[in-house]
Amino acid sequence: MRLVPHAEANPSECMRVNVEGAMALATEARRSGVAKVVAISSDKAVAPTTIYGASKFAMERILLDADRKTDTRFSLVRYANILNSRSSVAPLFLKQRETGVLTITDPNMTRFSITMTEGVDLIMFALDHGWGGEAICPISPSYRVGDMAMAIAPEAEHRIIGARPGEKLHEAMFSMTEAPFVARRDKHYIVTTVRGRWDLAGYCAKVPEAAPLERLFEYNSGDNEKFLSVEAIRDVVDSLFEGV
């Protein structure tokens, strides 16, 4: 993800935007009487290993605290790199295919699959159904980076370059620490509040389609129940990037 190395190179600016920006947002939303805010977080906020992830973790805590203390309702959405965005490996591999060499960090590295449309749908779900004080995560299939390379350029050289500093082998949407407070609701996981205005039991009592996890687990892309095959990845890429 391009934001991560940029943030590592400019940690003060990263904290200013994501942390001080969250504080300013909370203040102005309260002052202006804004009813609801949906903030976009990241999988990198879960057990952060980079300054970008740490800043998103802090952003979440600031806005969840504001939800408890103000009349504005703050909901969070967490999702991974959008496939059809500049931060995804897919457009990088499509560009590198022209050179005949794909640079791969680790073929066994896994990522969640989410498109721009699905990201927008998640935000709209949070606007329509968010209570405020929760983090909403999509339930998405995973893919292996090596399979993505095979789907896009099977004939090219696949050159292994190793992971970047702080880069995780697998993405996580919620941690084992958060799992006791998570409800599944249709195609979403709802990370409910711990010290907020409501709790997991209250949420599941009022939302018929929501239920606590049957077993506790960390929701990460490496242990996901559903993985996209090479053929399925190719179909997704073909649908997102015309003429590939």
Which CATH number fits the domain that encloses residue 98? Answer: 3.40.50.720
| pLDDT value for 232 | 97
> What is the domain count for the chain?
1
| pLDDT value for 160 | 96
* Per-position pLDDT tens, the chain of length 244: 467 888 999 999 999 999 999 999 999 999 999 999 999 999 999 999 999 999 999 999 999 999 999 999 999 999 998 998 877 899 999 999 999 999 999 999 999 999 999 999 999 999 999 999 999 999 999 999 999 999 999 999 999 999 888 899 999 999 999 999 999 999 999 999 888 899 999 999 999 999 999 999 999 999 999 999 999 999 999 999 865 5
Strands (E), the chain: 36-40, 73-77, 101-104, 110-112, 135-138, 142-144, 157-160, 172-174, 182-185, 188-191, 210-212, 219-220
For 71-110, letters b (16+ CB in 10 Å) and e give ebbbbbbbbbbbbbbeebbbbbbbebbeeeebbbbeeebb
Q: Which residue carries 């790199």 as its tokens?
A: 81
Rounded Cα distance between 242 and 8, Å, is 33
Structure tokens of 87? 């931060």
Q: What is the dihedral of CA 220, 221, 227, 233, to 10 degrees?
A: 150
Domain interval for residue 109: 3-240
**Neighbouring C-alpha atoms within 13 Å toward the C-beta of 212:** 12
Rounded Cα distance between 20 and 6, Å, is 18
Q: By C-alpha distance, which of 56, 32, 31 is closest to 46?
A: 56
Q: Give the active site residues.
A: 44
Angstrom CA distances, 183 to 60, 61, 180, stand at: 18, 19, 9
| pLDDT value for 1 | 46
